[in-house]
Amino acid sequence: DTEVTQTPKHLVMGMTNKKSLKCEQHMGHRAMYWYKQKAKKPPELMFVYSYEKLSINESVPSRFSPECPNSSLLNLHLHALQPEDSALYLCASSQDLAGLTGELFFGEGSRLTVL
């Protein structure tokens, strides 16, 4: 079962709200990722977790806060966002960072609109 599940599918929030995006995978993958994608652009890497530890933070503003509670779950906490943060947020997983196979498996994404 190659599936990454993201919730919610759609989220509308004001600039003062606090919300969270959730991601779950049961493929036994040890690397998990958050990407941000704007319309007609490729996905942009935000964070990478490897074995539940933050491995990469692509200079993302602190209003985005990732969390990896266990090897199957990845959260993205959102606070004081700006309208320009509106985008499709994609979660992905891969077997690990060092293995020969490196393909990412993506979830369906969470469409975020900041008013």
Q: Which stretch binds other proteins (CB under 8 A): 11-19, 47-55, 64-72, 76-84?
A: 47-55
Q: Does 70 bind other proteins (CB under 8 A)?
A: no
Q: Does 4 bind other proteins (CB under 8 A)?
A: yes
Q: Does 50 bind other proteins (CB under 8 A)?
A: yes
Whether the Cβ atoms of residue 5 and residue 72 lie closer than 8 Å to each other: no
Q: Does 31 bind other proteins (CB under 8 A)?
A: yes
Q: Does 1 bind other proteins (CB under 8 A)?
A: no
Q: Does 27 bind other proteins (CB under 8 A)?
A: no
Output the six-digit token pair for 111.
Answer: 């469409």
# of chain residues touching other proteins (CB under 8 A): 29
Q: Does 43 bind other proteins (CB under 8 A)?
A: yes
Q: How far is CA 61 from CA 26, 29, 55, 78, in A?
A: 29, 27, 16, 10
Closest CA to 89 of 103, 101, 74: 74
Residue 71 has phi, psi (to 5 degrees) of: -70, -15
Output the six-digit token pair for 60.
Answer: 């993302």
Supply the minimum distance, in Å, between the C-beta of residue 100 and other proteins: 8
